[in-house]
Structure 1
Amino acid sequence: MAVFSKSNVPQFSVDVYQNEYLPEGGREVNAIVTVTSTGGGTTGGRPLPGSTASASAAVVIMVDCSGSMEYPPTKMRNARDATAVAIDTLRDGVAFAVVAGTHQAREVYPADGGLAIAGPATRAQAKLALRKLTSGGGTAIGTWLRLADRLLATGDVAIRHGILLTDGRNEHESPEALRDTLDACAGRFTCDARGVGTDWEVKEVTGIASALLGSADIVADPAGLAADFQALMEKAMGKEVADVALRLWTPQGAEIAFVKQVAPTVEDLTARRTEVGPRAGDYPTGSWGDESRDYHVSVRVPPAGIGQEMLAARLSLVLPAPDGTSQVLGQGLVRAVWTDDMAASTRISPQVAHYTGQAELAQVIQQGLEARKAGDLDGATAKLGRAVQLANASGNEDTAKLLAKVVDVVDAASGTVRLKARVADADEMTLETRSTKTVRVKK
Structure 2
Amino acid sequence: MADFTSAVYQNEFLPDGGTDVNAIVTISCTGAGTAGQSGGDAGEIIIVDTSGSMGETNMEAAKNAAIVALDHIVDGTYFAVVAGNHQAYLAYPVTRGGQGMVRMDSSSRFQAAQAIRYFHSDGGTAIGSWLNLTRALFNSVPGLTQRHAILLTDGENHNETPQQLDAAIQAAIGQFQCDCRGIGVDWKVSEIRRVAQALLGTVDIIPHPTQMGAVFAELMQKSMGRGVAEAELRVWAPQGAQVMFVRQVSPTVEDLTNRSRQVNPLTLGYPTGAWGDESRDYHVAVRLAAKAVGQEQLAARVQLSVGENVVTQGLVKAKWSSDDTLTTRINPAVAHYTGQTELAEAIQQGLAAKAAGDDATATTKLGRAVQLAAETGNEEATAKLRKVVDVQNEDTGTVRLKKSVDKADEMALDTASTKTTRIRG
Asked if these proteins are the same fold (TM beyond 0.5), I'd say yes
Q: Per the shorter chain, which TM-score range?
A: over 0.9
**Which residue in 1 is equivalent to 2:53?**
68
Once the two structures are TM-superposed, the CA of residue 45 in structure 1 deviates from its matched residue by 2.5
Does residue 46 (structure 1) correspond to residue 37 (structure 2)? The answer is: yes
| CA shift digits 1:375-420 (9 cap, x unpaired) | 2212111111111111111111111000000001112122111110
Q: Which of 384, 389, 396 lines up with 1:402 in the alignment?
A: 384
Q: Is the 8 A contact 1:61 1:164 kept in 2?
A: yes
Query: Could you tell which deviates more after superposition, 31-40 or 368-377?
Result: 368-377
Q: Is the 8 A contact 1:159 1:240 kept in 2?
A: no
Once the two structures are TM-superposed, the CA of residue 176 in structure 1 deviates from its matched residue by 1.6
Matched residue SS, 1:172? coil
Q: Is the 8 A contact 1:46 1:92 kept in 2?
A: no
Q: Is the 8 A contact 2:35 2:228 kept in 1?
A: no
In 1, Cα distance between equivalents of 2:168 and 2:314: 35
**Which residue in 2 is equivalent to 1:141?**
127
**Which residue in 2 is equivalent to 1:25?**
17
Matched residue SS, 1:348? coil
**Quick one: percent identity of the two aligned structures?**
52
TM-score (norm: length of structure 2)? 0.97
Q: Which amino acid aligns with 1:201?
A: K
| CA shift digits 1:323-376 (9 cap, x unpaired) | xxx111111111111000001001000000000000000010111111111222
Matched residue SS, 1:158? strand
**Which residue in 1 is equivalent to 2:84?**
101
Q: Which of 64, 70, 86 lines up with 1:87 in the alignment?
A: 70
Give runs of aligned pairs for residues 180-219 of structure 1, distance below 5 A: 180-219=167-206
**Which residue in 2 is equivalent to 1:339?**
321
Matched residue SS, 1:336? strand
In 2, Cα distance between equivalents of 1:125 and 1:284: 35
**Count of aligned pairs:** 421
Matched residue SS, 1:440? coil
Once the two structures are TM-superposed, the CA of residue 27 in structure 1 deviates from its matched residue by 0.7
Q: Is the 8 A contact 1:162 1:190 kept in 2?
A: yes
| CA shift digits 1:55-110 (9 cap, x unpaired) | 6211001100111111xx11100000000000011111111100001111110011
| CA shift digits 1:150-189 (9 cap, x unpaired) | 1112332211101100101011111122111111111111
Give runs of aligned pairs for residues 99-248 of structure 1, distance below 5 A: 99-112=82-95, 113-155=99-141, 156-248=143-235
Q: Is the 8 A contact 1:250 1:280 kept in 2?
A: yes
Quote the RMSD (CA, aligned, Å).
1.1
Matched residue SS, 2:9? strand
In 1, Cα distance between equivalents of 2:389 and 2:374: 14
**Structure 1: any 5+ residue segments left out of the alignment?**
1-7, 48-52, 321-325
In 1, Cα distance between equivalents of 2:270 and 2:43: 23
TM-score (norm: length of structure 1)? 0.93
Does residue 13 (structure 1) correspond to residue 5 (structure 2)? The answer is: yes
In 1, Cα distance between equivalents of 2:51 and 2:114: 20
Q: Which amino acid aligns with 1:397?
A: E
Q: Is the 8 A contact 2:35 2:146 kept in 1?
A: no
In 1, Cα distance between equivalents of 2:240 and 2:114: 62
Matched residue SS, 2:63? helix
Q: Which amino acid aligns with 2:34?
A: T
Give runs of aligned pairs for residues 380-391 of structure 1, distance below 5 A: 380-391=362-373
Once the two structures are TM-superposed, the CA of residue 316 in structure 1 deviates from its matched residue by 1.1
